[in-house]
Amino acid sequence: MMKKAIALVCAILMAATALTACGKNGDAPAPVSSAADNNQTSSVAQPVTSTPASSAADTSSAPVGSNVKVEASKNSKASEGIKVEGIPFFDDYSKNVYLLITNDSGKDCNLDINVDFFKDGKNVGTTSNYIDAVAKGTTVCGDFSCDEDFNSYEYKVVASDLSSYEVPVDQDLALEVSQLTNKVIVSLTNNGKTPANYVWYDVFFYKNGKLVDHNYDYCYDDDSEIKPGATERSECSTSVEGGFDDAKVYFHGEGDNIS
């Protein structure tokens, strides 16, 4: 079970009262898709199952709202076959690092992740998370925040074998993104035989090639799943003035082995 627990509880309560599936964390097949058309009602089907971390986002500029350049420490490391790309992002409310983690290990795995934050070499924060049932060849997004200013960070990502109860489902989910002026509508279709549980997704909003906002939500039915053959939809918005012209979506879910 993913550790976006608090947000998940809130999303389930909201779903029960508003009968919608808008919340966060987290996300699917391979994460990532972009509706790059500037038309307000453009819709692009994305049958991909993963997006290489190297092409997932532009991290060359300093985070929004920050005058410092934030970089990953050279001490950062990941298990063999696990690729990591960091996206530092500051806004008026939070200071975050988003890790895009691509599983090129050749097998499905669980991920344990730790991130330490530093200001001028001094450790000012630490946090950890885990993401289970990551399908081989897919990319997932982990969210990590610090309540202190930081100008560098260090991550450790450890891959481990799945338990007998976990089943990857990302490879079976098909993503479609509709882009409007201030929001995206995410559609996920389960083409597999296993229900996808607690699917979350992260959205990175871009304007003129620059990251201007991040948001997240959940996408599932009243049973907190996307059933085989079903399509579920959710929308996620940005409050950035002037909207955005591109968005990248990363998502992830997991299944239960009931055989």
Q: Which two tokens stand for residue 42?
A: 């453009």
User: What is the three-class DSSP state of 183?
Assistant: strand
- Mean pLDDT over residues 55-70, rounded? 51
Q: Quick one: pLDDT at residue 66? A: 55
**pLDDT tens by residue, 149-171:** 999 999 999 999 999 899 999 99
**pLDDT tens by residue, 91-117:** 888 899 999 999 999 999 999 999 999
197: left (phi over 0), alpha (psi -120 to 50) or beta: beta
Give the span between the Cα atoms of 108 and 164, in whole angstroms. 12
Q: Does residue 38 surpass a pLDDT of 90?
A: no
| Cα dihedral 8/163/227/11 (nearest 10) | 0
Give the span between the Cα atoms of 193 and 227, in whole angstroms. 8
- Mean pLDDT over residues 123-136, rounded? 97
Q: Quick one: pLDDT at residue 39? A: 29
Q: Among the listed ranges 59-68, 177-186, 226-235, which one has the minimum average pLDDT value?
A: 59-68
User: Residue 128's CB: how many other CB atoms inside 10 A?
Assistant: 13
Q: Which two tokens stand for residue 217?
A: 């939500």
Q: Quick one: pLDDT at residue 245? A: 94
- Mean pLDDT over residues 64-83, rounded? 86
Q: How far is CA 136 from CA 73, 141, 143, 163, 252, in A?
A: 26, 14, 20, 15, 12
Measuring CA to CA, which residue among 174, 172, 202 is closest to residue 189?
Answer: 174
Q: Quick one: pLDDT at residue 112? A: 98
Q: Which helix (H) or strand (E) holds 16?
A: helix 5-18
Per the structure, the count of domains in the chain is: 1
Over pLDDT 70: what percentage of the chain?
A: 73
Q: At 27, is the pLDDT very low, low, confident or very high (cuts 50, 70, 90)?
A: very low
Measuring CA to CA, which residue among 57, 2, 40 is closest to residue 24?
Answer: 2
Q: If 0-12 CB within 10 Å is exposed, 13-18 middle and 19+ buried, where does residue 38 land?
A: exposed
- Mean pLDDT over residues 23-41, rounded? 35
Q: At 259, is the pLDDT very low, low, confident or very high (cuts 50, 70, 90)?
A: low
Which residues are 101's β-sheet partners?
Answer: 84, 140
Sign of CA dihedral 27, 52, 175, 41: positive
Over pLDDT 90: what percentage of the chain?
A: 68
User: Residue 138's CB: how many other CB atoms inside 10 A?
Assistant: 27
- Mean pLDDT over residues 4-11, rounded? 43
pTM of the model: 0.76
Residue 17 is part of a domain; what is its CATH number?
A: 2.60.40.3230
Domain of 211 in residue numbering reads as 5-256
